Chain A
């Protein structure tokens, strides 16, 4: 079955120690309303946990919500783990408090979708629908 025939499956993770989950939960609801299947991890996920859940759940999208500024060091650790698990072909998306000067570095770390604070919910779900093939 191809992704276009089945529901898009999204992992939504809260990386690191950040406890701000209001935005992540709002995005999770928007994704569910868009018809996606959402695996929300809850708080305090390590890179290893994110990679393991992404692999085990066979998700189409690996998305992160980061609010407390540690997105770059976290994603540097996550990238090789996702690659080692053969998850390069999945769509990697990140949202939250992401200063503009970090966007290029996040793109280089493999994040195709970057949604800083102020992004529209529909822009996130439409991007995922368009990119997941």
Chain B
């Protein structure tokens, strides 16, 4: 008779490249660096959370990504979401708006209002936010290439409605460096793009000190193929590039760092994700305190939206994405995020319908109302596994940041396309692992249905007529506005852009004169040029 075989235990390495043990003890915590970086919630290094009471005081903001068609269509969806308990807005713009084209630009044909709402002038913002209390509902603008223009437009709209800009809260994504890595809504070359981000940071620090002009996104870098540790490490490198620009302008760190925020992804292994957030919070606080000499606690806070999860959702068996979304929401709640949003189950197919958006909203509300996720701060703290992995994730992120520095820094790597090539090679490796079954995806490479349904989701309808309505509205505004005032504002914009003066005051003036997104972008392109994408494999 054969001797009984010892069970072979498979070695487990998480996506970030860290080995996961079958058992953790106090000795592992000690060996990984102990509890030195844990601390108390609301105190440096903030690993356990940036506030003492966290969700007991106020649950996370719920901010589903929404926008399509004309501003009036989007205004309806906003009101629907708010009526269903949503507490913030996250605005989706169509691709022409995102890359600075007017609706009547020939390149915009077929794309108007398709993946977000179409915005040409201030008039469109007035319609989109009509009837929404901007003090109660904070608005996040998912805009990058054209961010300086849209921030100017948002501030002008709020001011026109009588809000005090000094007190106005809100966020713009405005993270152009990640657009060069993934997402792709760049307009200008790398250097002037960073300058524009700096202009918004500088302007808001002085004029709109409660507004968050930048939300640095690890999110899309992860979607493009980065590991969770790289996602956060690259985001920190990018945030440092913006902070360095602000400091070169003479802004003291404590005058702007508190208004930087982050956007991270939530798909993947639950524990790796939660430890990523805990590790990142401690590391960012340490960077701001030790490297930048920040003194205000707010400057050291990793304020964030932990959301989405699109990269983990599947085209196959889309209804199972509702369950994936619920686990991702759990990750987000355990991460200590300030804001949450979920990709809806149908997003591999279409932009969400009212129905699917409501399911996402209810998923987050379940955690608040039924599951006890808001009762106690950082409930996983003290777990041997979680504290060890948090220490190891932090070390991994530091190693990745050191590698970036050794290769000349994130700006150089993005400009040359080396980061893009690296994450895209990883995305290819992951796709091969999924197709071979090595990396398991339920419904994709295991537990497949014999017969997939032909029409598993309802499609959000695209209204071809929206484009005509939008173009007519733009042409009417061009005819009715004071074109002398527009020309004067655009001339000032041209002059300030060329002189290296902060362009925000000129943009605000142009926006108020109802200059269009395309007209303002053209002036900036004439000065800055257009980005040429480096193609590297």
Contact = CB atoms under 8 A, between A and B. Distances in A.
Interface of A: 16-22, 25-26, 28-30, 32, 40, 42-44, 46, 68-70, 73-74, 97, 99-101, 116-118, 120-122
Nearest 6 CB-CB pairs, A to B?
A19-B184, A73-B110, A17-B95, A118-B315, A42-B533, A25-B424
Interface residues of B, number: 41
Contacts of A74: 110
Contact of B109 (A44, A73, A118): A73
Given A29-B424, A29-B537, A121-B431, A22 B224 contact: yes
A16 B184 contact: no
A120 B444 CA distance: 10
B88 interface: no
Nearest to B457: A99
B397 to A, nearest CB: 22
Contacts of B535: 40, 42
Contacts of B183: 19-20
Nearest to B94: A17
B245 interface: no
A49 to B, nearest CB: 11
28 contacts: A17-B95, A17-B99, A19-B179, A19-B185, A20-B184, A22-B182, A22-B223, A25-B427, A26-B431, A29-B425, A29-B428, A30-B428, A40-B535, A43-B184, A44-B99, A46-B107, A68-B114, A68-B115, A69-B114, A70-B110, A70-B114, A100-B454, A116-B315, A117-B348, A118-B316, A120-B435, A121-B431, A121-B432
Given A40-B537, A68-B95, A70-B111, 13 more contacts: A17-B99, A22-B182, A26-B424, A26-B431, A28-B537, A43-B533, A68-B114, A70-B110, A100-B454, A118-B316, A121-B431, A121-B435, A122-B435
Given A32-B537, A70-B114, A18 B435 contact: no
B225 interface: yes
A30 B99 CA distance: 30
Interface string B314-354: 11100000000000000000000000000000001110000
Main secondary structure of the interface of A (DSSP, over half): loop
Nearest to B432: A121
Contact of A26 (B114, B348, B427): B427
Nearest to A38: B537
A29 B455 CA distance: 31
Contacts of B114: 68-70
B367 to A, nearest CB: 29
B428 A26 contact: yes
Interface string B89-119: 0000001101101000001111100110000
A18 B435 CA distance: 25
Interface string B508-537: 000000000000000000000000010101
B455 A100 contact: yes
A68 B179 CA distance: 16
Contacts of A97: 348-349
B110 A16 contact: yes
A120 B315 CA distance: 12
Nearest to A15: B110
Contacts of A19: 95, 179, 182-185
Contacts of A118: 314-316, 444
A25 to B, nearest CB: 4
Nearest to B453: A100
A45 to B, nearest CB: 11
Contacts of A116: 315
Contacts of A99: 349-350, 459
B383 to A, nearest CB: 34
A120 B437 CA distance: 12
Nearest to A29: B428
B424 to A, nearest CB: 4
Contacts of A122: 435
A7 B232 CA distance: 40
A30 B432 CA distance: 9
Contacts of B108: 17
Nearest to A14: B184
A17 B431 contact: no
Interface string B179-192: 10011110000000
Nearest to B316: A118
Nearest to B430: A26
B439 interface: no
Nearest to B443: A118
Contacts of B462: 69
Contacts of A44: 99, 184
